[in-house]
Structure 1
Amino acid sequence: MKSAFTKSRQLLFVAVILLVLILANGAFLWREVSRLQNDARIINYAGIMRGSIQRACNHELAGRRVDAVIGQVDALIASFENRDSGFEIKMFEERFFKELQELKAAWSLLKHQISAFRASHNDDSRQRVLVLAEQCWAASDRLVYTTQCASEAKLNVLEYVFILIILNAIAVLIIIDLVRSYVRQQLEFAAHHDQLTGALNRYSYTIALEREVKRSRRYGSPLSILLFDIDNFKAVNDTHGHKAGDSVLREVARIVSEQIRDSDFLCRVGGEEFVVIAVESDGKSGSAMAEKLRGLIQERNFKTTGRITVSFGVAELDADENSDSFFKRADAALYRAKQAGRNRVSCAGMKA
């Protein structure tokens, strides 16, 4: 369970990181949307400036002075140059201000020519006003185009950011679902397994044995149980400590789990007492399996305690008995193995 919750915490940590990325991308998205709104204002101001230049020329050529309109164009150019609030541009900034300086220069010449036209009102001055006005209009168009390019570039970036946010959100939902599923599986595992050894616990042993007894009767297949415990386990705890005893229990369970078939069940039914439910195995096969396991455990040199031994009681299911009497016969066989000197296999109905 500890490793399960560790993995769950790791998955949740990844989910938190993704959530932080979503928030960061969201903040970036919000900022860029605000900048797009600013770009729209700049395009609007540039359009106003172009229209004001055109209006100033038309009115001046018609003999009407429009100093207020000329002042408006001057104010807009100054606001762009000073980067006043609402007049900032971040992308293509160098290109934008180059276009702005060209517009400013053309506008300065146009204003000078308008002043000259006011004094002379001749055709030559009129023509020069029209030529310079065309140059101003072209410069203002380039200014608008530069701002539009910046906006389009931002829109392309925002598309990728938005897609990234969606993908991150999907990943977070998937990870959260994985965490829930993983924790649920581990909780179910903990409810049916012994936390120390990973073997089925007493509750699951009872269910498994009842199920296999019914199946054996239904199909007429043999069924055996191998009841075993560690010899002198109390002395192991007293001499080496409970931590060493726990290590022995885990190692014994691991040895047995590696040797039994996938169809068999290893269960821990007491402190140092285990049961193997050997499906479709008669007493002879069960005894052979028990003898093999006993030998493997006897040969193992445990790191914390040295060599240990185990005793087995084996019973084959009789046709007319229930699971309780089945277990009692195996328990009686285990008792005989203990009485006979331990480190041996005893079969139900046989003398040790």
Structure 2
Amino acid sequence: MQLKYIFNQIGKKLGIGLILILIVSIHIFIIIGNSFFVEYSILEMENDATLINKSGMIRGGIQRVIKLELDNKDTTEYISNIDSIFNEFFMEEKYKLVNDKMITFVSKLELLQREWKVLKELIFTYHLTKQGIDKSSLIAQSEYIWNLSEDALYTVSILSSKKTDMLKNTFFIFLIDFFLIVFIIYLINKKIRNKLEILSTTDPLTNIKNRNMYNEALCFELELNKRAKNNTAFLFLDIDFFKDINDTYGHDTGDLVLKELVLILEETIRKTDMLFRIGGEEFVIFVKEIKKENLEKLANKIRLQVEAFDSKISHKFTISIGATMFNPDDTKDTIFKRVDKALYQSKNSGRNKVTIV
């Protein structure tokens, strides 16, 4: 009986031990598996960010080539740069485009490259003839390529967003026990927040909210105004003659001007207001709790602060502003078209102006 009891105890202990070993093994497997998956996802998202940036460089570069060609300036260097970016895209394993998920983007990229070759031929023809019909073809093709590049950018952005969603879903696995929770906290702090949130929500040059955050905030404000009008204003502004600043002083100086503008804006608006850089020299401000009659005063205050700023470049810079109030029936398109039209009016009336609609 005593021996049987001993064997039973050993069997019980061995069973518990095996269970513990199994649990620990599963936990280790989950930790290691998720670690590799998260690290891989981070690399994939960084890769996607590069793809988005390079695609944007193609789009901007092509528009610059057209502008220079129409101004009878040398475009050789810029054409070569665009060709180099295309070549980088299609280098094997360069940006990990060889997989099923990227087929759509690759097909659009290939179409974009083919149309770029057509555009280069049109540029060459126009360079020789300088005829109006060739100029029209050149402009039409450049606009077509702009739309293609927008489509390619949208595609890769959607793919990147899906990867972000997949990554978020894996975090629930880390809730199994205390050690996994600790691991999640460490991973979020060290890997995810530091690498992904900054990448997806913050403009790297000016350290303010980027276009992604603008889109989210705009949807939120539109929904809020549908429920109850809360007197929120939409200011859309950009730097006057910013291209001339870049062309005259270089892009480093242009970057400095962008940072100086952000400094002025942050010192002028309230902490409750939201500032976004949505692209190039374009900025958006959402101003909370302001009446329409005070909106023009605020916009002109911002404009005058910029005009009076003692910039580090050799001459001062100015901004043009378009502004409007959120309406309960507004959509993303209607409010942006309205404020964009206001900015356009400020530009057309001599720049360094404010237009309220």
Please give the range of the TM-score, normalised by the shorter of the 2 chains: 0.3 to 0.5
TM-score using structure 1 length = 0.47
